Every structure is written in structure tokens, then in C-alpha cells.
Structure 1
Amino acid sequence: MAGGVRKKSPGSPSALWGKLHTLWQDKHMVLFKTEYTLLVVSILWFLEIGFNVWVIQKVAYTEIDWKAYMDEVEGVINGTYDYTELKGDTGPLVYPAGFVYIFTALYYVTSRGVNIRLAQYIFAAFYLVTLLLVFRIYYRTKKVPPYVFFFVCCASYRIHSIFVLRLFNDPVAMMLLFAAVNLFMDGYWTLGCGLYSLAVSVKMNVLLFAPGLLLLLLSEFGLIRTIPKLLLCAGIQLLLGLPFLLENPVGYVSQAFDLGRQFMFKWTVNWRFLPEWLFLSRYFHLLLLAVHLLTLLLFVLRRWKRPGESIFELLKEPSKRKTPAQKITADQMVLILFSSNFIGMCFSRSLHYQFYVWYFHTLPYLLWSGGVEKLAHLLRVLILGLIELSWNTYPSTSGSSAALHVCHLIILLCLWMAPPLLSAPAETQEDSPVKDKRQ
């Protein structure tokens, strides 16, 4: 129109400049608005590449379990399939068969475990892949403000140490676990269960996610359609362990899946304030197991299912239930899985320093989930800081252990005070239902 104001096209240089100018004016909001999650995590991920290289080059590697891992898989390479005869310099082999295959590959790639520097770079790659998988979970759910991701990666010395300075097997198991969670979010339940089982075959701690996963499977499919997925998980364990089961089945199961293994008091992070005799007591262990199972049951009955719905309804086909089944959202799914694991961590018989990676990347999600929405940002960051401090106190003290339990209790109580997950209001665009693409 003559004499009128010409409207700027969305792709014009002036329009783009206007967007950049607005972004610069509100630059502080980039750290608080979840729509900027992708931008922030992308920057942090690329910074982590350089940071990991710096750590590997400048910080001294510390030998703890790597040589023992190599000795254990070398025994298998030399033809020993009896688990009771496979040992390293720190003790017998106590991990399932998936560990053996993965670390056998690392044994050959690193020149029989001698090329430590190459192993460190491989674990740096594991770390970066893990971050990608974790960031994708946070990006899909958009529950956590972007500034928190600094604490998820750059701020934790202990996590970098576990990956690239200690070369533990725990990070490998968690990398596979987070890959499985991503598959569950995308609706690839069968493939996700297979990858979950592979994670369990590297280290048993992944079983802490199992109660939440079982509830999700029953909610989505009912009992009949869940059984094949459980059989898949069991079949993978059987297939991976077959050479060792044929040689000495009792030895393999008792060594690789020893749920009653005794831990050493000097390494405990969470029970330092107890006298050693109580820490080693079987009655104390049984009490922790009972409280763990009771807490899980309470969460299942009161927080993880719909109010008024019988737990037996979950055993039916979704189409045959009294209340029409709704698709579980990605947010609900992730919170149930992460909470299941967190409850197990709270009541663990002992936590060693490398176990921090079992739940480190899930803590911001739990703190910023619906159950703790009334907590101030500063208090949430303080809790993260106290947990980090507790895990970085070496050797642990009565004070650091007590602080860790207090932080765990606060998070657990806030999760309990949240409304039941499966009665949440309609989904937002960011938190869409998980579609079952491949059952």
C-alpha cells in the first residue's frame, strides 16, 4: 500500500536482526526458559569435548580396576569359562557376561589393556554419548531450566573421574541404560527392553530401574503382552551367559548375580556414621531391603498408578480395563524410571564412589519434577551441591554421609508429595504421549 508501512518478511535480514536483538535483551532468560534447552546443551556438549581432552592430558590417571578387568577377560580369552576361576588383582570376576564381551573388545583395541591413553579417549567418547542421550531426555521432557545443565556436566569432577580417570564399567552400563530410556520414549519397547537387558549384563545396578519398567510395561500392554518382553530380557541374559552356564551354571549365577555380596566398610559413602559391626550386619541388610521394597510398593500404589484403580487392573489388556487406558507421556515414563532407581539408591547397603554415576544424571530431573515444584531454584541447586560435596569427600565422613541421606530424604519426600503421576492433566505439546511404534 502506498505510504503504508511495509511488513517485514519472517526471513528478511531485518526480521532476523530483530529476533537476535530481542534475544540479547532477554539473554538472561536463555538460562531459565526450557525452549532454549537445545541451544544450551549443544554449547555445553562441545565444551565437554575440549574439557575431556584437557582432563586426559593434564590430570594423572589412577589405576583402580582397569588392570583387574583386563586380567579377568584375559582368563576368558585363554579358555577359562568357569566363573569361579576368573580373577583379577582386586578379586574374583563379579559382573555378568555382557561385561566380559565388551571389555574383551576393549582388551584387544587397547593392545591387551596396555594402551591406557587410548582407553581414556574411548571412555571420553562413552561420556559424550551418555551426555547426548541424557540431554535428549531433558530436551524431550523440558522439565529442567537450561542453567542446570552446567551442573549435569562441567561442574562434576567426580563424574569425569569415574569415566576418563578410573575407567570403571559403571559408565558403560549407564550409557546403555540411557539409550534404552530414549527408545522407550520413542515407543520402541521391544528394542528398548533388549538394550536394557544388555545394560544389566554389564552391571547389575541397572536392575534398580526394573520395578518402574515393569509397571510401565504392564500399564502399556497388560500382563499377556508384557510376558514376551520379559522373556526377551531373560533370553538375552541366557544367550550371553551360555558359554559360562555350560561350564559351571551355579558358579556363573552365584558370581555374576550375587545379590548378597558383602561390601567393605572403608569404601562406603552413605553409611560412614554407622559402627562397622552394624554396617556388616545381615539384619541391617534385610531391614534395608524390606524398607526398599515397602517404599517401592507405596509409590506403586499411591503415586505411580491412577487413584482408585486396582493394581490388578494393570494385568488386563488396556482395552479391557474399567478406566480407559491413556498413553503414558514421556515425562511420566522418565520420572517413574528415575524414581525407581533413586529409591534403590536411598536404601542401598553401600554406595562406593563409582556408584555416583548410577543416578547423577537423573538428580536434576527428580529435583525439577512436579513433586518438588515448590522448592526455590536456590534450594534445588544447594541440594545438588551438597550431594556433589558428599561424593567428593574422600574418605567419607560421618558428616558427609549424613548430609547425603538428608538430601536423599528431601528429594524422596518431595516425590511422595507429588500428585499421582498417571492422573496428570492433558499433555502439552512438549510432553506428548509415547507412541508404540514397535511393540
Structure 2
Amino acid sequence: MAARARKKHADATCGARGTLCALWRDKHLVLFNAEYTALVTALLWFVEIGINVWVIQKVAYTEIDWKAYMDEVEGVINGTLDYTQLKGDTGPLVYPAGFVYIFGALYYMTDRGANIRMGQYLFAVFYLVTLLLVFRIYHRTQKVPPYVFFFVCCASYRIHSIFVLRLFNDPVAMMLLFASVNLLLDGRWTLGCALYRQVLLGLPFLLENPVGYVSRAFDLGRQFLFKWTVSWRFLPEEVFLSRYFHLGLLGVHLLTLLLFTLFRWRRQPQIISILFTSNFIGMCFSRSLHYQFYVWYFHTLPYLLWSGGVKKLAHLLRVLILGLIELSWNTYPSTVYSSAALHVCHFIILLLLWLAPPASVRSVDKAKRP
């Protein structure tokens, strides 16, 4: 019996060792074959736990909007449901009701917003959950070589900063978006759409002051400050603030969406391609991109680059584009050159997406209607 047990243990050890040896011999395959996405992303996810703890402990927190968030939700907690009366030290509340409920919970979990360190660790959890959701999408679609996922997580200073050093609300919104996308991939259409609906959540505020709620929570005419723009630094400030410029961007945005709808998108299952591309088009023609907006499309960039129509585009060039985009978002304050570089990278990606052939019935996106 003892001999048999030793033999089984030896066989198991040899089997595990053999698997590791095989992976080491085929390390090039592991890095470039999308079938190994789950293995590589699992390893990177555990590395990210350590990175987030290190960043929280070693890098100073910067107060930007957290106190304002807490002031805004405190007004709701104290009984104010009129959106026109809710504000923080940076201005009025301009986010939908979902923000109020989520940050209201964070208000209590962080001792009324005073325990910043607790807030940072909660946002580290949001970051890790977001990564899991993103990695699951990439595992399902299998378009991107596994080595690229290092740049999706570990290599971006700006994304870690947005999550755990600034505590912006944008990461929470993106976490919910990727959760919704995963549900759509699983064919759970009703639940996936419900996760992002705001009507029922906003009902208490709509009953109190419907015009005030809609005009504040969905204020499409809000003016952005030129000093914070990442994308349009090369323009004169008067052009940046011009309504004609804004209307021109809106027109080009809608035209680009129309062209992709007519000539590039089909009704076959290609949920990820349509969602990520339409979001990217919105980023390209946005009136302004501020630093925290980077999280709006950062995790989708590898998918877009490796889904493009130029199959012979070198891996190094694609990684270079990711690097230039990261550099543009890390340049503070933004410069004429950083903004121009960002637009050049956006144009290249948009061109690659346009050159991609229309998806066939055998689309690799596996979302199916029930």
C-alpha cells in the first residue's frame, strides 16, 4: 500500500513537472497562442493583487473628486431628492442615480468618506473585479495573443492611478459595463440590459423634480475646461470652447457610426466588436477627454488593434500604438504633441477597424440570443 501511494505521488509529481516543462519549452506558443489566455491572465491577475497593495501603501493619494462625491451623496442621505440642490465643493451633482446609490454605500463603508485608505482598498477590489470581467471577454473571443495582457494591466500607471489613487467614479461605471457585456455574451439579454438601466433607480428623483434630474444627470451641454483636456491641446482655446466645433464633432461622430452600421456591422453575433468599436468612435470625436476618461476605453484597445483588417501589421507596431496612447494619457499637463499623437493613434485604429472585413455568420463572438 505504501509503495503504491509513493508511486501515485511520484506519477503526479512527474505529471505536473512534465506539464511545466512542456509549457517552458513552448513558452513562445504560450505567449502568442490565444488558447492560453486563461492561464496567462490568471497569473497576471494574482500579480495585480500585489501591485495594487504596493501602490496603495507606497504612492501618495491625491484628492480630486472624492470629497465632492461624499458631499453630494450626503445631501441625498440627509433627505434632499431635488437634483438641483445637490452639490459638492467642485460643483453640482451631474451623475445619474446609480452613482448616488453606489457612492452612498461607499459613504457608509468609509466612515462617511473619512477613511480614505479603506476607500482605496475597495477600489482595488473594483479594479480586480474589472480585470476578471475583461479577461473573461478576451478568453471568450480569443482574438488577442496572451502576452498583450501584460499591457492591459501591469504596465499602465494611469489606470492604477485612476482606480486606487484618485477614486474616480468612472472605474465603477466601467466595471458595471463589463459585467453587462459578459451577460450579453452569455445570452442573458434582459439582465445584461437591466444592469445599466437608470429609470427605476432615478424614480425617487424623477418624482421630486423630473426636469431637474434629467437636466443635471444627463447634461449634454456641459462645458469642459480647456486646462484639463488631453485630446485637443493643439487647438486654440476659443475653438475648443466653440459650439460650432462641438456640433461639428457630433456630426462627424454620427456620420462615422452610420457608415460603420451600413458597411461594416451586420446582425450576426458580433456583440463585442460593435460595442467596443462604437465606444471607441465616441472617444475619437469627444468634445474633450479628461485624464479619468482613459478608463472608458483602455481595456478595449487590444481587442480593437488585434481585430483590425491589416493582418500583417507587426505585433511590435501594435504594441507601439498602445505605448504611444499610454504616453499621451500620462503626459501632464497635456501638450500639443501628446494630443496630436493621441489623435494619430486613434486614426490608425479607426482605419484598421474600417479595413476589417464585415463579420460573417461564423463570427468568433459567441453571444447568442436565447
- TM range, smaller chain: over 0.9
Mark the CA change 1:117 to 1:291 in structure 2 (over 3 Å): closer, same or farther: same
User: How far apart, CA to CA, are the structure 2 residues paired with 1:145 and 1:389?
Assistant: 22
- For residue 284 of structure 2, the aligned residue among 342, 346, 370 is 346
1:277 aligns to 2:235 (yes or no) = no
1:382 aligns to 2:320 (yes or no) = yes
Q: CA deviation at 1:151?
A: 0.3
User: How far apart, CA to CA, are the structure 2 residues paired with 1:98 and 1:432?
Assistant: 29
Q: Which amino acid aligns with 2:162?
A: I
In structure 1, the partner of 2:332 is 394
Secondary structure in 1 matching 2:143: coil
8 Å Cα contact 1:127-1:163 kept in structure 2: yes
The 5 A counterparts of 1:155-304 are 155-197=155-197, 237-304=198-265
User: What per-residue deviation string (whole Å, max 9, x for no partner) do you get for residues 17-53 of structure 1?
Assistant: 5544332222232111111111110110001001100
8 Å Cα contact 2:140-2:366 kept in structure 1: no
Q: CA deviation at 1:420?
A: 1.0
Secondary structure in 2 matching 1:240: coil
Residue-pair matches, total: 360
The 5 A counterparts of 1:18-57 are 18-57=18-57
In structure 2, the partner of 1:323 is none
Mark the CA change 1:266 to 1:40 in structure 2 (over 3 Å): closer, same or farther: same
User: How far apart, CA to CA, are the structure 2 residues paired with 1:108 and 1:146?
Assistant: 39
8 Å Cα contact 1:62-1:166 kept in structure 2: yes
8 Å Cα contact 2:276-2:304 kept in structure 1: yes
User: What per-residue deviation string (whole Å, max 9, x for no partner) do you get for residues 47-79 of structure 1?
Assistant: 100110000000000000000000001111111
Q: CA deviation at 1:370?
A: 4.2
8 Å Cα contact 2:234-2:339 kept in structure 1: yes
Secondary structure in 2 matching 1:259: coil
Moved segments of 4+, more than 4 Å: 11-19
- For residue 434 of structure 1, the aligned residue among 354, 357, 367 is 367
Q: CA deviation at 1:372?
A: 3.9
Q: CA deviation at 1:260?
A: 1.1
Q: Which amino acid aligns with 2:307?
A: S
Gaps of 5+ in 1: 1-10, 198-236, 307-325
User: How far apart, CA to CA, are the structure 1 residues paired with 2:21 and 2:125?
Assistant: 37
In structure 1, the partner of 2:80 is 80
User: How far apart, CA to CA, are the structure 1 residues paired with 2:333 and 2:17?
Assistant: 54
In structure 1, the partner of 2:298 is 360
Q: Over aligned residues, Cα RMSD in angstroms?
A: 1.5
Q: CA deviation at 1:15?
A: 6.1
The 5 A counterparts of 1:91-130 are 91-130=91-130
8 Å Cα contact 2:229-2:288 kept in structure 1: yes
8 Å Cα contact 2:308-2:349 kept in structure 1: no
In structure 1, the partner of 2:142 is 142
User: What per-residue deviation string (whole Å, max 9, x for no partner) do you get for residues 222-281 of structure 1?
Assistant: xxxxxxxxxxxxxxx232112211221111111000111100000000000000000000
8 Å Cα contact 2:272-2:365 kept in structure 1: no
User: What per-residue deviation string (whole Å, max 9, x for no partner) do you get for residues 346-397 of structure 1?
Assistant: 0000000000000000000000114342311000000000000000000000
In structure 2, the partner of 1:201 is none
In structure 2, the partner of 1:322 is none
Mark the CA change 1:370 to 1:404 in structure 2 (over 3 Å): closer, same or farther: closer
Mark the CA change 1:182 to 1:286 in structure 2 (over 3 Å): closer, same or farther: same
User: How far apart, CA to CA, are the structure 2 residues paired with 1:175 and 1:138?
Assistant: 15
Q: Which amino acid aligns with 1:287?
A: G
Mark the CA change 1:386 to 1:248 in structure 2 (over 3 Å): closer, same or farther: same
User: How far apart, CA to CA, are the structure 2 residues paired with 1:414 and 1:348?
Assistant: 20
User: How far apart, CA to CA, are the structure 1 residues paired with 2:17 and 2:225?
Assistant: 61
Percent identity over the alignment? 81
Mark the CA change 1:111 to 1:286 in structure 2 (over 3 Å): closer, same or farther: same
TM-score normalized by structure 2?
Answer: 0.94
User: How far apart, CA to CA, are the structure 2 residues paired with 1:12 and 1:176?
Assistant: 41
Gaps of 5+ in 2: 1-10
Secondary structure in 1 matching 2:292: helix
User: How far apart, CA to CA, are the structure 2 residues paired with 1:24 and 1:418?
Assistant: 34
Q: CA deviation at 1:14?
A: 5.8
8 Å Cα contact 1:372-1:411 kept in structure 2: no
Q: Which amino acid aligns with 1:277?
A: E
User: How far apart, CA to CA, are the structure 1 residues paired with 2:78 and 2:146?
Assistant: 50
User: What per-residue deviation string (whole Å, max 9, x for no partner) do you get for residues 74-120 of structure 1?
Assistant: 11111111111111010000001110111111101111000000000
User: How far apart, CA to CA, are the structure 2 residues paired with 1:20 and 1:247?
Assistant: 62
Secondary structure in 2 matching 1:403: helix
1:336 aligns to 2:274 (yes or no) = yes
Secondary structure in 1 matching 2:309: helix
